[in-house]
Amino acid sequence: MRKLLFQIVPLLLVTSLGLSLLLGSPAAPDSATDLVALEQRIEGMQQRLRQLQDREAIENLISIYGYYLDKALWDQVADLFASEGEIEISQRGVYIGKERVRASLNLFSPQGLAYGNLRNHIQVQPVIHISADGQRAWSRHRAISQLGGYEAASFLSGGVYENEYVKEDGVWKIQRDQVYTTFFTTYADGWFTGLGPAAAVSRELPPDQPPSVDYEALPEVYVPTFHYRHPVTGRPIVRSGASGPATRAP
């Protein structure tokens, strides 16, 4: 539907202007002021269309990231990142640059799924904001994960992403990928009796930087920093729990 809108709106604008000039209707620009106003209106609509296209591209990027994680397609996941992109999963610390992002993914499993593996990684509830120049963006979204193996240990987990994106050569890429673990539990023991801590720093592959935030998963409660203000009051979101890094979004 959006793609159809992108094609129809410019056509309607041109057609409307042409008919106005031909028929001499009151909407026809008969002065430089009217022409400037019309140009500004068209420019505003074109900007709005670009924003809708950018928002759709970022929402697709978020969903595609989840589908690649599902199948442990680590090469494809790493290719979604900008050249100087960063990844920070739970309390594992920060890995910087595409090569280090790719290396860090091996901590979860080898590339590709083996027999009996399950790695569903569901991305939902995206809230997306785009910079005025259309070159940077931020999102907050939720992940629900089903992990485990046939006749082996299985787990459920959930977390909140606060991500940053950058447009490189006209293509949206992940600049910073950060998920805060809300809960991590064994499937067999249930939501509370099987709760475990958020994943910690790896000794096998130490990160480039330590974790940016010190927090604990359920039963503790931590609310990650919101990159945006309240949409009605315009005020910053007051949170409980430990404080995270300052928001990077305008």
Predicted confidence at residue 3, as pLDDT, reads 52
The per-residue pLDDT for range 76-106, each reduced to its tens digit, is: 999 999 999 999 999 999 999 999 999 999 9
The per-residue pLDDT for range 156-201, each reduced to its tens digit, is: 999 999 999 999 999 999 999 999 999 999 998 887 788 999 899 9
Pairing of β 136-149 and β 117-130: antiparallel
Q: Which of 100, 98, 104 is nearest to 80 (CA)?
A: 98
31-186 placed in CATH 3.10.450.50: yes
Entry pTM: 0.80
More confident residue, 74 or 14: 74
Predicted confidence at residue 101, as pLDDT, reads 98
Q: 12 pLDDT exceeds 70? A: no
Amino acid occupying residue 87: I
The per-residue pLDDT for range 16-57, each reduced to its tens digit, is: 444 344 444 445 446 778 888 888 888 888 888 898 999 999
Q: What is the mean pLDDT of residues 222-245?
A: 80
Predicted confidence at residue 37, as pLDDT, reads 83
